[in-house]
């Protein structure tokens, strides 16, 4: 593996470029490589096959080797040789990491998983988005109290505390982030799960606030991940490297997050899949992570559709066959459909696609505890399913979701979905849950009886 300090040298000595010039070079090269390796989005085969996954991996290696990573602070290109990139992949392939999170009875182990593995992915759903103070506790508790939900992959962030908004890089960011961290620990203790993994630090986004939240009795190595995300496409800065070094020094698992957009520098799902792989390999090179989140969305913010799921499948299956790091992912509908039947169906589609593509850890599972329960039931039901059968099922669920989207007026706010005092789902959300589950069963999701 490449020592992280080597990235400082390459960040200071690499070729000077403007950001726009780097972007143009990326766009040209990814188009060239997709054509060279004959990679094409196939709406009929949303779970990517072995030859396509192999081609996506090869193109991703070449893209990183020929384009590199762009350092936004130094305006220089961090360069790699193709042999260095292959050494990173080989390191993981020959030593698939197994990561432990949590403590005591709440300890879990996340490991590499194949697309036909009968072991279901670990359910670790947590609340996402901007959370209001008055319903922060019941929102988080709705996930933490679900017995099958093994961790909170994400939990935040708080919109304001006592009227104080968390402004990045100021004292208010630290103030709100510390409140959030203490409240998460309190919630975990109240539901009898004091060792629960609390996932990614959210409200703390700058290096100073993150460091303020890490320490004994707060966020510690067993319950914390820190984001070292590559910025799409293939961009880093000093903060990424500083936090990666901090994670390595303190024994904290970095949050390795690799996403590529469809419709920006990548014109389509095929180019996005290659971009995800290049971002993954670049981030593993400096971050040395053990769990990697993959994601794709459209330039207008849409996700959970056929093309973005194809891009995820292509990148995940490329990693399955050539990297073998534990892949994590999202199983949650778009924000405008949160806590509705349409959103549950989008989450279901992603759960089928991601499980059949080899992901191991689900860190967003719908947008309430009840939806996380549903996603977990789907993960259990489809694990080990033949990929062709999973593909047909996925297409049917996406078709049903598209129809339901046209009938949905907007999201259901969490206070309208759960009773804030009892932290139990309201009848309307329960009705949607049962209706979705019945429809999925009719389409072929083999839920366990009982």
pLDDT at 217 over 80: yes
pLDDT at 156: 78
Q: Is the pLDDT of residue 375 over 90?
A: yes
Is 35 among the domain residues? Answer: yes
Whether residue 151 has pLDDT greater than 90: yes
Whether 396 is covered by a domain: the verdict is: no
Examine the fold and report which residue of 324, 346, 371 is the final residue of a domain before the chain moves on.
324
CA distances from 285 to 67, 80, 198, 359 (A): 15, 10, 25, 20
Tokens in use for 178? 């510390």
Q: Are residues 158 and 198 in the same domain?
A: yes
- The verdict on residue 58 lying in a domain is yes
Q: What is the CATH number of the domain that holds 183?
A: 3.20.20.460
| pLDDT per residue as tens digits for the range 75-99 | 999 999 999 999 999 999 999 999 9
Query: Model confidence at 60, in pLDDT bands (50, 70, 90)?
Result: very high
Mark whether 137 and 185 lie in a shared domain.
yes
Q: Is residue 423 assigned to a domain?
A: no
Regarding whether 91 and 11 lie in a shared domain, the answer is yes
Please calculate the CA angle 143-148-152 and round it to the nearest 5 degrees. 40
Interatomic CA distance for residues 405 and 392, integer angstroms: 20
pLDDT, tens digit, 9 for 90 and up, residues 227-251: 999 999 999 999 999 999 999 999 9
Are 227 and 214 in contact by the 8 Å Cβ rule? The answer is: no
Q: Is 142 helix (H, G, I), strand (E, B) or coil?
A: helix
* Shared-domain flag, residues 249 and 345: no
Q: Which residues are CB-neighbours of 200 under 8 A, at least 6 positions away?
A: 153, 154, 155, 156, 225, 226, 227, 255, 363
* Residue 311 banded pLDDT, cuts 50, 70, 90: very high
- Give yes or no: residues 271 and 347 share one domain: no
Whether residue 450 has pLDDT greater than 70: no
Residue 373 DSSP SS3:
helix
Note whether 235 and 204 are same-domain residues.
Answer: no
Q: Do 173 and 207 have their domain in common?
A: yes
> 39 with 186, same domain?
no
Instruction: Dig out the tokens for 412 from the structure.
Output: 């259901």
Same domain flag for 112 and 197: yes
- Identify the residue with better confidence: 301 or 145: 145
Rounded Cα gap, residues 434 and 425, in angstroms: 12
Residues 217 and 356 in one domain: yes
Residue 355 lies in a domain: yes
| pLDDT for res 264 | 92
**98 bridge partner residues:** 111
Mean pLDDT (whole number) for 132-142 = 98
The share of the chain scoring above pLDDT 90, in percent, equals: 98
Smallest Cα–Cα separation from 190: which of 251, 245, 142, 131? Answer: 142
Q: Give the separation between CA 1 and CA 371, rounded to whole angstroms.
A: 39
Residue that finishes a domain, picked among 293, 324, 355 = 324
- Using one digit for the tens of pLDDT, what is the confidence trace for 348-365? 999 999 999 999 999 999
Number of domains into which the chain is organized: 2
The reply to whether 223 and 365 lie within a common domain is yes
pLDDT bracket for residue 449 (50, 70, 90): confident
437 in a structural domain: no
Mean pLDDT across the chain, nearest whole number? 97
Instruction: Region of 103 please: left (phi>0), alpha (psi -120 to 50) or beta.
Output: beta
Residues 344 and 206 in one domain: yes
Give the span between the Cα atoms of 183 and 138, in whole angstroms.
11
In a domain, 285, yes or no: yes
Residue 61 reports pLDDT greater than 90? yes
Does residue 414 have a pLDDT over 80? yes
| Residue 374, domain extent | 102-227+331-384
Residue pLDDT, tens place only, 89-130 = 999 999 999 999 999 999 999 999 999 999 999 999 999 999
Is residue 284 in some structural domain? yes
Among 384, 412, 428, identify where a domain stops. 384
End-to-end CA gap in the chain: 48
Task: Tell me the whole-structure pTM to 2 decimals.
Answer: 0.97
């Amino acid at each position: 593996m490449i020592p992280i300090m080597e990235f400082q040298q390459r960040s200071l000595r690499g070729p000077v470029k403007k950001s726009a010039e780097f972007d143009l070079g990326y766009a040209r090269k990814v188009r060239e490589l997709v054509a060279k390796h004959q990679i094409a989005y196939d709406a009929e085969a949303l779970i990517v096959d072995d030859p396509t996954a192999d081609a996506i991996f090869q193109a991703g290696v070449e893209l990183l080797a020929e384009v590199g990573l762009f350092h936004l602070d130094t305006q220089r290109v961090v360069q790699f040789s193709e042999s260095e990139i292959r050494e990173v992949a080989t390191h993981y392939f020959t030593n698939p990491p197994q990561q432990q999170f949590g403590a005591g009875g709440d300890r879990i182990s996340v490991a590499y998983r194949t697309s036909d593995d009968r072991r279901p992915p670990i359910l670790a759903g947590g609340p996402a988005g901007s959370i209001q103070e008055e319903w922060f506790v019941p929102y988080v508790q709705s996930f933490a109290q679900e017995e099958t939900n093994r961790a909170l992959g994400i939990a935040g962030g708080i919109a304001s505390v006592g009227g104080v908004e968390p402004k990045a890089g100021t004292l208010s960011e630290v103030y709100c982030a510390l409140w959030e961290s203490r409240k998460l620990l309190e919630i975990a203790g109240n539901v009898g799960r004091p060792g629960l993994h609390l996932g990614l630090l959210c409200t703390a986004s700058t290096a100073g606030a993150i460091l303020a939240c890490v320490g004994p009795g707060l966020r510690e190595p067993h319950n914390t991940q820190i984001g070292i995300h590559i910025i799409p496409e293939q961009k880093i800065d000093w903060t990424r490297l500083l936090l990666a070094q901090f994670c390595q020094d303190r024994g904290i698992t970095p949050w390795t997050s690799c996403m590529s957009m469809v419709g920006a520098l990548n014109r389509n799902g095929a180019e996005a899949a290659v971009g995800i792989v290049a971002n993954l390999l670049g981030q593993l090179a400096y971050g040395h992570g053990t769990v990697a989140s993959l994601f794709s969305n459209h330039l207008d913010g849409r996700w959970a559709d056929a093309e973005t799921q194809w891009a995820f499948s292509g990148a995940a299956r490329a990693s399955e066959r050539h990297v073998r790091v534990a892949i994590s992912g999202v199983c949650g509908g778009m924000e405008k459909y949160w806590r509705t039947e349409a959103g549950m169906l989008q989450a279901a589609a992603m759960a089928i696609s991601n499980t059949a593509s080899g992901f191991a850890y689900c860190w967003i599972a719908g947008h309430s505890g009840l939806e996380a329960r549903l996603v977990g039931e789907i993960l259990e039901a489809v694990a080990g399913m033949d990929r062709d059968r999973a593909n047909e099922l996925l297409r049917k669920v996406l078709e049903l979701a598209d129809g339901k989207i046209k009938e949905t007026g907007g999201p259901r706010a969490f206070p309208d979905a759960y009773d804030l005092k009892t932290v139990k789902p309201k009848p309307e959300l329960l009705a949607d849950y049962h209706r979705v589950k019945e429809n999925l069963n009719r389409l072929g999701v083999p839920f366990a009886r009982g």
